[in-house]
Amino acid sequence: MNDSNINTVAILTRHGQHAGLLIKALQSGKHVFVEKPLAVTAEQLDSVSQALIVNSQKLITVGFNRRFAPLARRLQEFLVARSEPLYMHYRVNAGYIPLNHWTHDPVQGVGGLLAKAVTSWIYWRASPGPRRFRSPPLPCRIMAGLTKDNVSMTFTFPDGSIGVVDYLANGDKSFPKERLEVFCGGRIAVLDDFRTLEMLHAGRRSVRKQAQDKGWKDEWIAFTNAIRTGGQPPIPYEQLIGVTKATFAAMQALHEGQKIDIV
C-alpha cells in the first residue's frame, strides 16, 4: 500500500476483508482489482460507494470475469439488435461446499452464492438492472447439515426481461458446471460451460467450440488497458454496485421467503 512504485493492487483475500482493503488501497492512491464479492454487507457497500466518489481518479474492477469470455461476447453480438425482452436461464452446478468451510462463515465468507455473484452475467446481458427478485430455497440435507446453496432466483427487469438463475450445490461435480439459454425475438442461444456456443435464427444453426475460457485473461487485459490509457473502468461502477445489491436481495429473499424489490 505504501510503495510508490506500485500503482495497482489485487485483493484476493477471504470475502469479509474485500471492502476494507479496497477502501484502504484507494486512499493509498492505487487502482484496484478485487475478486468477487465487492462487499458482504450493505454498510460495506455504502462505504465503498463513498470511497469511489472521493477517489474518482483511480479505477477499480471486480472479478466478474464471465462477461469477458470470448463466447459470451459473441453471444452478446448475436442479441445486440434485439427489440424485445429476453428470457435467460442460467444453471450453475456449483457443487457442495462442506458446512465447516470458511465460505459459510457469516463474517469471512457469507456463503457460496454471494461469492459467485452469478447475477453479474444476467445483470450485464439485460442492463439496466433488475427491479424485483424472488428466491425460493431448495433445502438439501447433506452430511447431516442444511445448506441454502441450492436456490432458484428469478429477476424481473424494467424492459420486461426475465432472468432465472438456478444455483445448485446438490448435484455431481463431474457434470459440466454452467449452462446458459437465452430466448429472444426468434433467436435462441445456448452457452455450454464456456466451451460451446450454439446460436439459432431463421432456421439456421451455428455452433462455435473452443477450449474453456471464462474470461479471466481478457478481464485483466481490459483493466490494464484502462489504467494505461486513462480510460473508463471495464465494468461500469453502477453495475458493480447493482450486482452486489441484487446478490444481497437474493440472500434476503432466502432468509425471508418473499419477493424483494431492489433499490
* SS3 of the chain: helix, strand, coil, percent, to 5: 35, 25, 40
201 and 185 in contact (C-beta within 8 Å)?
no
| Residue intervals in the chain for CATH 3.30.360.10 | 65-213+243-261
CATH number listed for the domain at residues 8-63+218-234 = 3.40.50.720
| Residue intervals in the chain for CATH 3.40.50.720 | 8-63+218-234
**pLDDT (average), residues 186-197:** 97
Task: Place 146 in a pLDDT band, splitting at 50, 70 and 90.
Answer: very low
Task: Round to whole Å and give the CA distance between 50 and 39.
Answer: 13
* The pLDDT value given to residue 192: 97
* The pLDDT value given to residue 262: 65
Whether the predicted pLDDT of 244 surpasses 90: no
- Comparing 37 with 31, the larger pLDDT belongs to 31
Question: In 40-96, at which residue ranges do the beta strands (DSSP E only) sit?
Answer: 60-62, 87-93
Other beta carbons less than 10 A from residue 98's beta carbon: 11
**pLDDT (average), residues 257-263:** 66
Task: Place 24 in a pLDDT band, splitting at 50, 70 and 90.
Answer: very high
CATH number listed for the domain at residues 65-213+243-261 = 3.30.360.10
Question: pLDDT of 111-129, one tens digit each?
Answer: 555 545 556 666 666 656 5
Task: Place 149 in a pLDDT band, splitting at 50, 70 and 90.
Answer: confident
Question: pLDDT of 42-82, one tens digit each?
Answer: 999 999 999 999 999 999 999 999 999 999 999 999 998 88
167 and 177 in contact (C-beta within 8 Å)?
no
Integer CA distances (angstroms), 214 to 11, 73, 178, 192, in order = 19, 11, 11, 11
Task: Round to whole Å and give the CA distance between 168 and 149.
Answer: 6
Task: Place 142 in a pLDDT band, splitting at 50, 70 and 90.
Answer: very low
Task: Round to whole Å and give the CA distance between 32 and 9.
Answer: 5
Whether the predicted pLDDT of 138 surpasses 90: no
Integer CA distances (angstroms), 243 to 44, 155, 196, 207, in order = 14, 12, 26, 30
Whether the predicted pLDDT of 141 surpasses 70: no
Peptide bond into 234 cis (omega under 30): no
